Amino acid sequence: MRITLGMINRQYNKNLNAALNQLNSGYLKTTTLRKFEKTSDDPFSASKAYQLRREYEENQTYLDTLDSVDSQFMTSESAMRSIYSVISSADSSDVLQGITGTMNQDDRKIIADKLRQMQKAIVAPANTKFGDKYVFGGSEMDEAPFSVDGDGNLFYRGINVDTGELENGTAANFNGTLIEFGGGFDTTDAAANYKDYVLKITDAGEGNSSWVDPPTSNLITLHVDLSKVHTNQDLLNELRSMGTKFTGLDFSKVRIVGDMNRTVTDGMESSAIYDSVSMDTMGKLANEEMLANLGLGLQLDEDGKVDSQSAFNTSIPGISFLGYGTSNTDGTEMPDNLYSLLGKIADQLESDDFSMDSIQPYLDHFSDQENKLLSEITKMGAKSNFLSTLKSNLDPMGDKILERDQNVENVEPEDAITDFYMQQYAYQAALSIGTKIISKTLLDFMY
């Protein structure tokens, strides 16, 4: 083939440019230490890198969550331990063990006072906070779960732990919320007892102000302007402004808590108005779950909801270890709740017809409940152990992912620098060859 100087020049230019390009990419590699700068440089590695980066982010999220869950658990555990220490000191020879049938009224009074002091000492740790959260509140952690009324009854989130009666009188569930009537709805007045009534929302039509039909056959129909009332929050405001409509039907003290943003539609009905909850409900409350994603691999149960087994349950409802409801021992109905039980024992001690026979079932029951508390604390310990095992797995896993990601994305500095020197060498060689082939023509050798 005929070769001309022009061809050599052009080829040389192209090759020199290629060498310069490589030098540039080599230089980039030494400064960024990256294998590729854009996805298209290496799509397979890039897709792997995207994957690994996400896994690492997830791992870090799990670790963050785990750290806060762990601290929350430590707080909970120590609160439970201090409750237990109160309980076990109540069960000591100074107090309950020291009760004999021969004690006089004053001695009994002393012990009863001690027990009442101990009741108070239980409530404080039961309302323990971690950060802004009340750790024993189940799913509701913004407000102190336990409260005591003037009669010495203990309430868990407004529900009497022994009877299930509501602290604030009547309530109903409506559209994802709890409507509390705040004593505005009378359940005692025989003439106007609205218990078991249902609230029904009907559109009043645009521009019309709200009104209420006279309650009939367990139905209270509220007419509100649905073009203005969109959400539960709007409805609450509307109800409050209604005031008293009929005897014993006062809306002004209504309180709505829960999901305030759901839409209110025509024909929506509340649950039947109630003033107490069943023990079944209390059981559900005691088993309420709050799930944290700690990388156990979220899965769905048959209802299409997140399976509790695939996440970590962080909730410790206070009544789950303090007890709720009543049980019947030897023909005596007595509370399961340790606080109430202490109160009942104190009542017994203070009672005039005190006898060892009448107090004994309470004492037996108390020691059963005490053991239950201890076993709940032990369960907590097992969960804490699980958390530390999980942490010791997640930590190295994160390091491993990071290492793999670096293997995919980064080059070793020594490799990068070696490559760079090689490319520099190639470029310089190309330059020096250039001066040799370009300069000479036949002309240079004539004459």
Partner 1 sequence: MASTFSAYHIAKSGIQTAQYYLKVTGQNVSNVYTDGYTRQRLDTYAVAPTGLNGRYASKGDLAIGGGVDASGVTQLRDPYLDVRYRMEHSKTGLTGTELDTMDNVQDIFDEITKNGINTQLTDLTKQLNTLAASPSDSNLETIVKNSALLLTKAFKNAAEQLSKIRSQETGSFQSGGIDKVNNILQNIAQLNREIKSSDISEAPALELRDQRNSLLDELSQYFDIQVTSSKVPIGAGRTVEEMQVSLVSGDKKVTLVSNDQYNQFKLDTDPQTVEDSVEDGGGNSHVYASKTINASVTLTDSNGNVLKGSDGTTPLVTNDDLKTGVFGGYLAMLNDSGEYDAVPSKTFGTGADEVTSPATASTTRGIGYYEKVLDQFASELSKTMNGINSTDGANNKPMFSNGGSDSSKPITAANISISDQWNNATGSYITATKDDELPGVDNSSAGKNILYMVYQFSQEQTYKTPEDVTVFSTSLNSYVSKISTTLGLDIETATRQNDTYNSNLDGIDTQRASISSVDVNEEVINMTAYNQSLAASSRFMTTIDEAIDTIINKMGIVGR
Applying the rule CB under 8 A, the residues between 238 and 267 that interact with partner 1 are: 257-263, 265
Pattern of binders to partner 1 over 262-301, x per CB under 8 A? xx-x-----x--x-xxx--x--xx--xxxxxx----xxx-
Give yes or no for a contact between 124 and 117, defined as CB atoms under 8 angstroms apart.
no
Among 29, 108, 157, 344, binds partner 1 (CB under 8 A): 157
Near partner 1 in 322-381, by CB under 8 A: none
Q: Is 443 in the site for partner 1 (CB under 8 A)?
A: yes
Please list every residue from 108 through 147 that binds partner 1, using CB under 8 A: 132-133, 138-142
Instruction: Report, in angstroms and rounded to the nearest whole number, the Rg of the chain calculated over CA atoms.
Output: 38
Q: Rule CB under 8 A: is residue 437 a binding residue for partner 1?
A: no
Q: Cβ closer to partner 1: 70 or 213?
A: 70
Smallest gap from Cβ 265 to partner 1, in A, equals 8
Do the beta carbons of residue 151 and residue 162 sit within 8 Å? Answer: no
Q: Which stretch binds partner 1 (CB under 8 A): 157-165, 215-223, 328-336, 411-419?
A: 157-165
Give the residue with the Cβ less far from partner 1, 126 or 311. 311
d(CA 288, CA 309): 14
Work out which of 176, 183, 205, 413 binds partner 1, going by CB under 8 A. Answer: 176
Distance, CA of 232 to CA of 20 (rounded, Å): 69
Q: How many CB atoms lie within 10 A of CB 441?
A: 9
b (16+ CB within 10 A) / e for 53-75: eebbeebeebbebbeebbebbeb
**Sheet of 146-148, strands arranged across:** 146-148, 154-156, 159-160
Segment 12 to 41, residues that bind partner 1, using CB under 8 A: 14, 34, 36-41
Give the residue, chosen from 16, 20, 33, 46, that forms a contact with partner 1 under the rule CB under 8 A: 46
Binding residue (CB under 8 A) for partner 1 from 18, 50, 149, 421: 50
Instruction: With contacts defined by CB under 8 A, name the span among 60-68, 195-203, 337-345, 355-363 that binds partner 1.
Output: 60-68
Cβ atoms of 102 and 148 within 8 Å: the answer is no
Q: C-alpha 178: how far from its chain's center?
A: 20
Structural tokens at position 104: 């006089």
Q: Which is nearer to partner 1, 173 or 332 (CB)?
A: 173
Q: Classify 315 in phi/psi space as left (phi over 0), alpha (psi -120 to 50) or beta.
A: beta
Q: Find the part of the chain contacting partner 1 (CB under 8 A) among 47-55, 100-108, 347-355, 410-418.
A: 47-55
